[in-house]
Structure 1
Amino acid sequence: MSPRALSLRTLLFLGLCQTGKRSLASFPDLRDQPKRIAVVGAGIGGTAATYFLRQEFGTAVKIDVFEPSDVGGRMASVKIGDYEYETGGSVIHPLNLHMKHFIDKLGILQRKDVPSKMAIFDGKELTFEESDWFIINFLRLLWRYGFNFLRMQMWVESVLDKFMRIYQYQQFGYSFSSVEKLLHAMGGDSFLTLVNQTLEEAMLAEGFSQIFLNDIVAPITRVNYGQSVRINGFVGAVSLAGADSGLWAVDGGNKRVCSGLLYHSKAEVIPARVTAISVKVRPTKSGTTANYYEINYVGDSGSAHSLYDIVIIATPLHQGKSDISFSGFSPPIPSHYPGRYHLTVSTLVHGLLNVSYLGTTEQASEFVVSDVLTTDTKGSAINSLSSIDPVHIPPGYKRPPASQTKVWKVFSPQPLSQEQLRLMFLSWDSVSETQWLAYPAYSPPHRRTPPFILHDRLYYLNAVEWAASAMEMSAISARNLALLAHHRWHAQEAKIDQEDLHTRVRGEL
């Protein structure tokens, strides 16, 4: 990475820390602010949207967040014994600037790092086991795959450099009306091409070998998205970035970011399920009429409804994920968009690993691999097997060896049977299973990406997931929609869809 790139990223981060001071002070002649805004969903997307909406529209607007379950959505944890462990989104990339800004703003610490080692399992044996020595790992990979591994890091770095452009746009207050235009702002035509071809096609075209894709790339896509190298190329690049060094997590659990953003935003959380959204016309004091959105919802105290000026939906509008109906809209808004969400089962086992299941002859006391990735082998029961640490690392903590009982996380395409558990573990005293419809089933080409703008002032945050699903992608979409809602409310069309701005913005920095 060049010093210039580092300097640019530092300036971007410092600029992002000042974003809350931009909007209201920069536009003194704006019309009245909206009175009430609703956000449907309190995962990272919904809570980040709440935070950014407060920045854009000021302290006077009332923001309600509808969430029938726990705050955090797919960022969740479970308690086993004396400690809590992540069951959902677990790692954050060092270049995820919004997430870094959130924890700095909220005063939350990063979790202490515990050294880890990785291995790759083909269903019969370990085909690669990471050494403590970098030079040994490098020579092993060089011998088997040539310079494919180094070239992969360079390819991912080139994608990340383009990805970083979105922070420049958002720092200067620019927004995009569709996922395609946002992607084009990031990486031009190359990103749109990546979305509409498989990762396998993209990497083969770049000269990577098929054996490298099968042995190294597929295990990474399986652990991150539970899918093969036939996912789209953009989400594949995001997945490979997740194999970088320097990944981090939040001390006490990643879901703390969500609750912290809600608290900081002074939003009211309504513990209720939204059942329907309709458009209503009401008279104004000036004698004209205005459109509002009526949200119908069901909570512990029964059914109710409320009117809002702006609504942001931050929960997937897909089969199995939502049952919100829309009425009174022209053209009609579908309750479910095309496509499906992929099932990944996360099973936390507090038990004693059967190391022979992995085909190794090492003694359990000497087996210190913490992350086992798997190749795309027909009939494979698991996508990955990881020894995980508590969300808060206590003083003096050391990860136990495989000869001791500890917590393992198993990602699998289906719930594990008792027979499969007996094959993997010699014994266990607790099993916690969570079934996640965590991200879309990526099968390019996907030319029917849902819109950001469902109606005049009704927005859909999760449309971005059909390009790639990640915590930072949700935060980027949240920032984009807060800016988009602000600019469209105040008729500032010049701040929307300026896709050729990155050259001028780079010059301003």
Structure 2
Amino acid sequence: MSVGTWTQRVFLLLGIYHSATRTLASTPELHEPPANIAVVGAGIGGAAAAFYLRQEFGPTVKIDVFEPADVGGRLATAEMANQEYETGGMVIHPLNLHMKHFVDKLGISVRQEVPSKKAVFDGSELTFEESDWFIVNFLRMLWRYGLNYLFMQMWVESVMDKFMRIYQYQQYGYSFTSMERLLHAMGGDDFLSLMNHTLEETMRAEGFAQIFLNNVVAPLTRQTYGQSVRINGLAGALSLTGADSGLWAVDGGNKRVCSGLLYHSKSDLIRARVTNISFKVRPSKTGPSTGFYEVSYVGDGGAGHSMYDIVVIATPLHQGQSDISFSGLSSPVVSQFPGIYHQVFSILVHGVLNTSYLGVTRPASEFTVSEILTADSKDNVMYSLTSVDPVHIPPGYSRPPASQTKVWKVFSPRALDQEDLRRMFLSWDSVSQTPWLAYPTYRPPQRLTPPFILHSRLYYLSAVEWAASSMEMSAISARNIALLAHHRWHKQMGQIDQEDLHTRLRGEL
């Protein structure tokens, strides 16, 4: 898709995003707002949930956000050579409207863009290397793969057209009780089919050649999720947007969005680990009994507990990712949902790259590729290798050539040992290896995702990750959870699990 097309759509949808109001139905009488809300987790999902809960419930509700580690979660940085570098989520797509709205609302600057070029490595040599000229790259793709690359862009655009319906649904206050219902509102049965078939199956059915999937599509899915073309079709389609232009990041680090959202929401950050969530019933002298959630936690100051009307869990409840227990609920909550999270390592190396490791024979000073993607091969010990820039780009900055010492990010399925480093780098002076259980292992069919509603007023934001994982997906889930909690609290059931938005819009016109 051309940059002009992207830009036109962004401005159109931003106009919808900022100007639309909830006028589709008369607003029913509201109950008293909740007094206390807890959010468990201060990553992008939890921070966005606090922001949207404040927006929905108003200034009087007290919002506590529990986080034992650094604010930002999987949006993290590490210091190397007196600079900060991203070790978690790195880039944001130009059509990620929630993330764009956050940055605009918080007054955060976008990081200065530094041009980059991609190449594909098969374990022994580079099978493709971008030129500085667009027309040269296009003709190379055309020569090798026919119209497959153009058709891929068209197919991804068609998926994104449907994906972006969620912004209009959310702007008009619609919410959904399950990921399946949300996906159906976005893309109907086609999106449910994407969830239950692999990207490979989906694209082969669309007529894409297997060699194109192996040499072009797989490197993109490996760079995004560290997984092959056998991930689900929806996550796969979103990973292919990494080939689009206009990707951006936040000046000073993407984690700044999280701290900014917490500050803007006027939430209280509690540095503690939640250990138990139990449902309690308080008798009342003047009316019916009232139910509350008791959140027990342990922090530096010791153990404690507090009572809340609503609780949002914005941290994974899978594969030992959480040790939160639940009690007192009318129906048990499965604290360890089926499925596993994918283990990856984000490794920063400050050193001089051994370009001969990539099969490059020309001088390293002439090697200007900054992103090396990899084919799905047993000979590859990495998913990608990237020349990374600091989270703040100083004036006059230019990316050093491969012949000089600079910071490389190795995205790998395992930690690198000394032998790996000796093969990949001529020299190095510092290494930082960060293990992540970053996102689910996608093994379709995904017949049933975890629910958004765990109990009456207990919500699970991270359910969204089992469809696809990204900063924007977490923000979409946070918006959905806030709307869902608001409508269920005030018994506005007409705004839940409805797909009649366009019918009602036509009725208004």
Matched, 1:389 2:399: no
Deviation at 1:330, TM superposition (A): 2.3
Q: Secondary structure at the match of 1:420?
A: helix
CA, structure 1 residues 201+265, in 2 after alignment: closer, same or farther (shift >3 Å)?
same
- Report SS of the residue matched to 1:304: strand
Query: For 2:508 and 2:129, how far apart are their aligned partners in 1?
Result: 47
The count of aligned residue pairs is 507
- Single out whichever of 78-87 and 432-441 deviates more from structure 2: 78-87
Pairwise mapping of residues 414-433 of structure 1 onto structure 2 (< 5 A)?
A: 414-433=414-433
CA distance in 2, matches of 1:319, 1:62: 31
Q: Which residue of 1 aligns with 2:116?
A: 116
Aligned match of 1:12: 13
Residue of structure 1 equivalent to 2:275? 275
Alpha-carbon shift at residue 408 of structure 1 (Å): 0.0
Distance 2:112 2:286 in 1: 58
Provide the rounded CA distance (Å) in 2 between the counterparts of 1:285 and 1:93. 54
SS of residue paired to 2:243:
coil
Shift of 1:77: 0.4
**Secondary structure at 1:465 match in 2:** helix
How far did 1:362 drift?
1.5
- Closer/same/farther in 2, CA of residues 442 and 285 from structure 1, 3 Å limit: same
Does the CA-based 8 Å contact 1:371-1:385 persist in structure 2? yes
1:253-292 equivalent positions in 2, closer than 5 A: 253-284=253-284, 286-292=286-292
Task: State the match for 2:187 in structure 1.
Answer: 187
Q: How far off is 1:17 after superposition?
A: 3.5
Alpha carbons of 1:22 and 1:79: their partners in 2 closer, same or farther (altered >3 Å)? farther
Kept in 1: contact 2:349–2:431 (CA 8 A): yes
Map Cα deviations across residues 39-82 of structure 1 (whole Å, 9 max, x no partner): 00000000000000000000000000000000000000011122
Could you say which residue in structure 2 is the equivalent of 1:220?
220
Distance in 2, Cα, partners of 1:36 & 1:27:
23
Change (3 A) 1:43 1:505: farther
- Taking the aligned partners of 2:507 and 2:92, their CA distance within structure 1 comes to 29
Q: Does 1:501 align with 2:501?
A: yes
Please say if 1:211 is aligned against 2:211: yes
Opposite residue 17 of structure 1, the aligned amino acid is H
Q: Which residue of 2 aligns with 1:365?
A: 365
**Kindly tell me: are residues 502 and 89 of structure 1, through their superposed partners in 2, closer, same or farther at Cα, counting changes over 3 Å?**
farther
508 and 168 in structure 1: CA distance in 2 versus 1, 3 angstrom threshold: farther
Partner of 2:490: 490
Code of the residue aligned with 1:389 in structure 2: it is D
Aligned equivalent of 1:87: 87
Q: TM-score, normalised by structure 1?
A: 0.97
Deviations 1:284-334 (A, max 9, x none): 352320110010100001111110000000000001311100111122101
In 1: Cα distance, 2:261 partner to 2:457 partner: 23
User: For 1:109 and 1:236, how far apart are their aligned partners in 2?
Assistant: 30
**Deviates further, 39-48 or 74-83:** 74-83
User: What's the Cα RMSD here?
Assistant: 1.8
1:390-446 Cα deviation digits (max 9, x unpaired): 000000000000000000000010111110010000110100000000000000001
CA gap of 1:336–1:211, structure 2 versus 1, over 3 A, is: same
Q: 2: CA distance between counterparts of 1:417 and 1:488?
A: 52
| Shift in CA distance, 152/505, structure 1 to aligned 2, threshold 3 Å | farther
Q: Distance in 2 between matches of 1:82 and 1:417?
A: 24
CA distance in 1 between counterparts of 2:508 and 2:206 reads: 33
- CA–CA distance in 1 between the matches of 2:506 and 2:241? 24
User: C-alpha separation between the residues in 2 aligned to 1:22 and 1:261?
Assistant: 23
Matches of residues 452-467 of structure 1 in structure 2 within 5 Å? Answer: 452-467=452-467
Tell me the residue number matched to 1:322. Answer: 322
Return 5+ residue gaps in structure 2 as ranges: none
1: CA distance between counterparts of 2:410 and 2:72?
Answer: 21
AA in 1 matched with 2:390? P
Q: Secondary structure, in 3 states, of the residue corresponding to 1:242?
A: helix
Q: Which runs of 4+ in 1 moved over 6 A?
A: 1-6, 506-509
Q: Distance in 1 between matches of 2:337 and 2:259?
A: 29
Contact 2:145 2:212 in 1 (8 A): yes
**Distance in 2, Cα, partners of 1:213 & 1:394:** 38
1:282 CA drift (Å): 0.6
| Distance in 1, Cα, partners of 2:361 & 2:503 | 56
Moved more, 423-432 or 323-332: 323-332
Q: % of aligned pairs identical?
A: 72
Say if 2:28 and 2:492, in contact at 8 Å, map to a contact too: no
Bigger drift between 3-12 and 257-266 goes to 3-12
For 2:477, give the aligned amino acid: S
Q: Classify 1:508/1:142 alpha carbon distance in 2 versus 1 (closer, same or farther; 3 Å).
A: farther
The C-alpha deviation readout for 1:86-117, integer Å capped at 9, x for no partner, is 00000000000000000000000110000001
For 1:348, the equivalent position in structure 2 comes to 348
1:177 aligns with 2:165: no
- Structure 1 pair 220–292 and aligned structure 2 pair: CA distance change class (3 A): same
C-alpha distance in 1, partners of 2:182/2:409? 35
Partner of 2:58: 58
Secondary structure of residue in 2 paired with 1:323: coil
2:251 counterpart of 1:237: no
Aligned to 1:69: 69
Residue 296 of structure 1 aligns with an amino acid whose one-letter code is: S
CA distance in 1, matches of 2:331, 2:255: 37
Matches within 5 A, 1:148-159: 148-159=148-159
In the TM superposition, residue 13 of structure 1 has moved relative to its aligned partner by: 1.6
- Contact 2:294/2:308 (CA < 8 Å) preserved in 1? yes
Letter in 2 for 1:358: L
Report the AA paired with residue 416 of structure 1. Answer: L
CA–CA separation in structure 2 for the residues paired with 1:228 and 1:180: 24
Separation in 2 of the partners of 1:184 and 1:28?
A: 27
Counterparts of 1:290 and 1:383 in 2: how far apart (Å)?
52
Q: Is the alpha carbon distance of 1:31 and 1:148 closer, same or farther for their aligned partners in structure 2, counting shifts above 3 Å?
A: same
Which residue in the other structure is 1:125 paired with?
Answer: 125
What letter matches 1:274 in structure 2? V
Counterpart-to-counterpart distance in 2, 1:11 and 1:308: 40
Q: Secondary structure at the match of 1:98?
A: helix
TM superposition shift of 1:380:
1.8
Cα distance change on mapping 1:351 and 1:230 into 2, 3 Å: same
* Displacement after TM superposition at 1:447 (Å): 1.5
Structure 2 CA distance for partners of 1:150 and 1:310, relative to 1, 3 Å: same
1:449 correspondence with 2:449: yes
Amino acid at match of 2:289: T
